[in-house]
Amino acid sequence: QKEVEQDPGPLSVPEGAIVSLNCTYSNSAFQYFMWYRQYSRKGPELLMYTYSSGNKEDGRFTAQVDKSSKYISLFIRDSQPSDSATYLCATNTGGFKTIFGAGTRLFVKA
Amino acid sequence: NAGVTQTPKFRVLKTGQSMTLLCAQDMNHEYMYWYRQDPGMGLRLIHYSVGEGTTAKGEVPDGYNVSRLKKQNFLLGLESAAPSQTSVYFCASTSGQVDSPLHFGNGTRLTVT
């Protein structure tokens, strides 16, 4: 079993839709949770960072962590064609080794 | 400020050939990493370094070697390339602070025929 599971998609939505991206993880020691966004032929860039359980909002993006169910979510409101990318969830224990999910490819159609 | 720079951007090798991928960062980061990215597999850690002169194995180290002779550079070597090493290779660095993100280069696309 992978330590972080993520559906690779692809996920296709119309412009303006609410997007929900999800991951599950197996190690209860994970404390830090991240979402990276990767555009085609580019390296991943940090989008959201959350410590422990709870929600964090940044503009149209909301990251949610439920440690009781080991579930990580990213919500995108009013999705735009420019949001089309691969979204990778990631986690670590606070050390220097980050573990990534497989990434979900998102297409937002104009 | 260039961030993390990877060279080359593309390379085609024949089975058995060798090559070195270079990663350079200008952020004075202590920690540097090499990942490979394959469809459906996500980013898998090959080797990493926690400081100049140190290296350690990651999740998929077989067939690769690394060196960190200077703090700003992290080299990934393939001694005898195999088709299974066809992948996109990403270098990343971080300061090591708890909330410090990984900074990635834009990748090297390697094809082994």
Residues B58, A89, B24, B83, CA torsion sign: positive
pLDDT tens by residue, A67-85: 999 999 999 999 999 999 9
pLDDT tens by residue, B59-111: 999 999 999 999 999 999 999 999 999 999 999 999 988 778 899 999 999 99
Looking at CATH, the fold of the domain delimited by A4-109 is given as Immunoglobulin-like (2.60.40)
pLDDT above 90 (res A52): no
Q: What is the mean pLDDT of chain A?
A: 93
Measure the CA–CA gap between B46 and A91, rounded to whole angstroms. Answer: 17
On whether any CB of chain B is under 8 Å from the CB of A103, the answer is: yes
Q: Which of A6, A33, A98 to mutate to test the interface with B (most CBs of B within 10 A)?
A: A98
Contact criterion met (CB < 8 Å) for A8 and B50: no
Domain boundaries, chain A: 4-109
Query: DSSP 3-state assignment of B30?
Result: coil
Range in A17-31, A87-101, B14-28, B55-69 the model is least confident about:
A87-101
Give B110→chain A minimum CA distance, Å. Answer: 13
pLDDT band (50, 70, 90) for residue A16: very high
Range in A30-34, A90-94, A106-110 the model is least confident about:
A90-94
| β-strand pairing of A104-109 with A11-14 | parallel
**Per-residue pLDDT, B1:** 63
Partners of B105 on chain A (C-beta within 8 Å) are: 43
Give A38→chain B minimum CA distance, Å. Answer: 10
Query: DSSP 3-state assignment of A94?
Result: coil
Contact criterion met (CB < 8 Å) for A96 and B40: no
As to burial, measured by CB atoms within 10 angstroms (0-12 exposed, 13-18 middle, 19+ buried), residue B39 is exposed
On whether any CB of chain B is under 8 Å from the CB of A46, the answer is: yes
Of A43, A46, A49, the CB nearest to B90: A43
For residue B58, what are its two tokens? 């990651």
Contact criterion met (CB < 8 Å) for A102 and B41: yes
pLDDT above 90 (res A97): no
**Per-residue pLDDT, B71:** 97
Of A34, A97, A100, the CB nearest to B42: A100
What is the residue type of A78? D
**Per-residue pLDDT, A96:** 76
Compute CA distances A13 → A41, A47, A72, A75, B18, whole Å.
Answer: 22, 20, 20, 13, 43
Give the residue-averaged pLDDT of B6-21. 97
- According to DSSP, residue B16 is labeled T
Give the residue-averaged pLDDT of A44-67. 93
pLDDT above 90 (res B49): yes
Give B28→chain A minimum CA distance, Å. Answer: 16
pLDDT above 90 (res B29): yes
